[in-house]
Amino acid sequence: MPTVLFRCDASLSIGSGHVIRCRTLARTLQQRGAEVLFLCRRQPGDLIALLEQEFRVLALPEQPLALSEGLEGRELYGAWLGCSQIQDADDCLTALATVGVRRADWLVVDHYGLDATWEAQLLNALACDKGTPKLLAIDDLADRSHQADLLLDQNFFGAATDQRYEGLVPSHCLQLLGPYYALLGPEYAQLHPIVPARTDLRRVLVFFGGVDPDNLTVRALEALMEPELAHLAVDVVIGRQSPHRQMVADLVAQRPFTTLHGPLPSLSGLIARADLAIGAGGTTTWERACLKLPSLVVAIAANQVPFTEALHHAGHLQLLGDAANVDSEQIRAALLAWIEETTQFSADCDLTDGVGAARLALAMLGPKAGISLRLAHQGDEALLLRWANDPQVQSSRFSSDSIAPSVHRHWFRNGLANPNRLLLIATTADGCPIGQICFDRQSVRAECGASQAMVDLSLDRCTRGHELASQILRPALRVMEQQWGQACFARAGFGAQFVSPVAPPPSGCEVLALPPGCITILSDVSSWLNIHLPKLITALWQRGHAVRWIHEPAQLASGDLCLLLSCGRLLSSDHLSLHRHNLVVHESALPQGQGWSPMTWQILEGASCISITLFEAVAELDAGPIYLQQQIELQGHELVEEWRALQAQATVELCLHWVDRYQEVLAAAQPQHGDHSYYPRRRPADSQLNPDRSLAEQFNLLRVVDNQSYPAFFYSHGRRYVLQVQQEPLGLQ
């Protein structure tokens, strides 16, 4: 169970936004199995009691409030912290030690008063044998450095959004930027696709935060008191800790069709039924945008001014000004304009879909379960445009210019109706869309006797580092053939996300290489090797080849090369004749070790150097001419996952060597010679341990058992006992 520590505060000066958005992320992480712990400082207006309803909270000692009147920028945010960063870090570590917490997997910091100084102190103190925690910094300001592995800034700054943190975070830091990653409750994602368009102004929502220190709620209500606006229904939300709550209540009592709401678990219901909002530029901005609610906005803090101005200029909201300068008359005039200009009721809903918390949780913990695929639909248009215009994807195109929405709309909508285009959306188990894979079938038959399709893949930025392309590729290729009902080789389009993790061919060997053609990979459907084969496929795409990946000999169609990798069946002469070459990778020095599971048998025999052989398949088992061989060196401690990874790496390398130096390798082929030996199939029963023998005597058996498919077991006292074998780093208790 991963442990996640949160450091955030709420107060009458800070407001509630930092704690509320951290709570949203914490809920998502907790649902994913994480253990969550909050560190919050006691001060007037804190939300410690609220957090304690759901999470474990360590309250830091209350500090005398520093005077913040007249302070700006870093001085103001330092006053919010209440002490030095070093003191705050010491307080946090003392609180953690008191309850026995000495390590964490993630540290999440959301506080304007903290930067890399505090972060380094916490990370160093929480480092252990298992490693240093990773750090997520949640920020809005881009005014200080962070020692972060992951950064979230959910604000919108137009074209500048992706450049704001240059030089402020390490080069390896994954930056999730913009309202697309905004931390909203799950109800927003549920309502996002079903909220109807607003066509008239009948109901207004007024909310300026839980505290509303500038008393903007009263200004809005004064504007709504005007006779011209008396027909409007109004929902007013303000926290009980607001110093102006009684004044607001008095005005609400004087106005018909007006309801005062106390603190609510979520504003989603009021936002969904409103036609217009009057509010601040904080987190609620993204809640309103998700549910397509047009908004009149007042910036209530200096840090809200830049992004609300950017949103205003981009047409996402109407900014009235900052809190010091907006009066009730200005609000009244804006409301009357909305009534008169009905064309304004077209709030842009492309800023966020409400799934930001799930994306952030995926970036932190990886996918919750398996990845699934669905057909794209009209509602995916904005999502695909965002992925296409991600800077990393843009860098792979011939033009680095962003794709215009009108151009993308034409491509997308025509594609949905095109029978030769298959557009699939990859989603996690909790419904979070994480990428797309698109197949465009060519109109002519390929020379190899089957059709071909150009394939393009793009993944959400939050998936980086989790190797999810491999999980998407295999089912997508299967869906492609099922959808079109015929053999189809896929050839990669021009895209950086298909650059293989395997090294490209050496320069100068082009004249030796296999010319681009049609390559089939045939593997058993349940083989462990399948998770490694997408690396080979992307490397072949990088070399210009079209590839099919199948699991049954009956699916074979004519082509240039067939790679039989972890394929437990002999092919007939008819099957072999469909390709010019049929290659097998076998883990022994043939003709020694023919047959089944040679790697496993040799480890059981105590081998430390195992030959990997690539040869031409013939009708007789493991008997064709040998093209290439290399060795795997074992240290004697590797368990099944480790030595399988070495085996997979060697398999990919041998296949690519054959492809890259085809002419040379073909000429050097040698027939098998020498004494033959044969290994039989291994069965689950072969994983049985003898309880009367020592573990040292049976250690090589423990190295080859598979905890899922054929775990180690033994019998004693008339019962069967199953062992789970895994390796832990030295030093862990």
Q: Give pLDDT tens digits for 559-601.
A: 999 999 999 888 999 999 999 999 999 999 999 999 999 999 9
53-57, 190-194, 369-373, 389-393: which has the highest mean pLDDT? 53-57
- Per cent of the chain over pLDDT 90 is 74
What local confidence, expressed as pLDDT, does residue 398 receive? Answer: 42
The per-residue pLDDT for 486 is: 81
Per DSSP, the three-state class of 561 is strand
71 pLDDT band, cuts 50/70/90, is low
Q: What is the pTM of this model?
A: 0.85
Whether residue 496 is predicted with pLDDT greater than 50 in this model: the reply is no
Q: How far apart are CA 598 and CA 647, in angstroms?
A: 11
What are the residues facing 476 on neighbouring strands? none
Please name each of the domains of the chain with its CATH number: 3-177 (3.40.50.11190), 187-344 (3.40.50.2000), 369-499 (3.40.630.30), 504-682 (3.40.50.170), 684-723 (no CATH)
pLDDT of residue 609: 96
What pLDDT score does 395 carry? 47
Residue of higher predicted confidence among 77 and 718: 718
- Terminal CA-to-CA distance of the chain, rounded, Å? 16
| Mean pLDDT confidence for 85-100 | 96
Q: Is pLDDT above 80 for 122?
A: yes
Q: Tell me if 211 sits within 8 A of 45, measured CB to CB.
A: yes
Whether the predicted pLDDT of 730 surpasses 60: no
Condensed to tens digits (0 to 9), the pLDDT of residues 148-201 reads 999 999 999 988 898 999 999 999 999 999 999 999 999 999 999 999 888 889
For 316-450, where are the E strands, in sequence order? 318-322, 372-375, 421-427, 433-441
* Mean of pLDDT values over 301-316: 91
Mean of the per-residue pLDDT values for the chain? 90
Half-sphere exposure of 179 (CA within 13 A, CB side): 27
In sequence order, which residues have a C-beta less than 8 Å from that of residue 670 and are 6 or more positions away? 625, 626
d(CA 566, CA 525): 9
Please give the pLDDT value at position 370.
Answer: 81
Residue 68 has pLDDT above 80, yes or no: no
CB burial string 359-374: b at 16+ within 10 A, e below? bbbbbbbebbeebebe
Amino acid 661 reads: R
170-174, 235-239, 618-622: lowest mean pLDDT where?
618-622
User: Do the beta carbons of residue 285 and residue 311 sit within 8 Å?
Assistant: yes
Alpha carbon separation from 296 to 15, 161, 256, 484 (Å, rounded): 20, 22, 22, 50
Range of lowest pLDDT (236-250, 481-495, 562-576, 642-656): 481-495
Helix (H, G, I), strand (E, B) or coil at 571: coil
C-alpha 663/C-alpha 562 separation (Å) is: 17
Q: What is the pLDDT of residue 731?
A: 45
CA dist list (Å): 685 to 421, 527, 701: 48, 19, 12
**Do residues 279 and 205 touch, judged by C-beta distance below 8 A?**
yes
pLDDT band at 265 (very low <50, low <70, confident <90, very high): confident
Sign of the CA dihedral 386, 391, 393, 396?
positive
Can you tell me the distance from the alpha carbon of 551 to that of 521, in angstroms, rounded to the nearest whole number? 8
Higher pLDDT, 228 or 76: 228
Task: Specify the DSSP element, H or E, that contains 206.
Answer: strand 203-207
Find the mean pLDDT for residues 104-121.
97
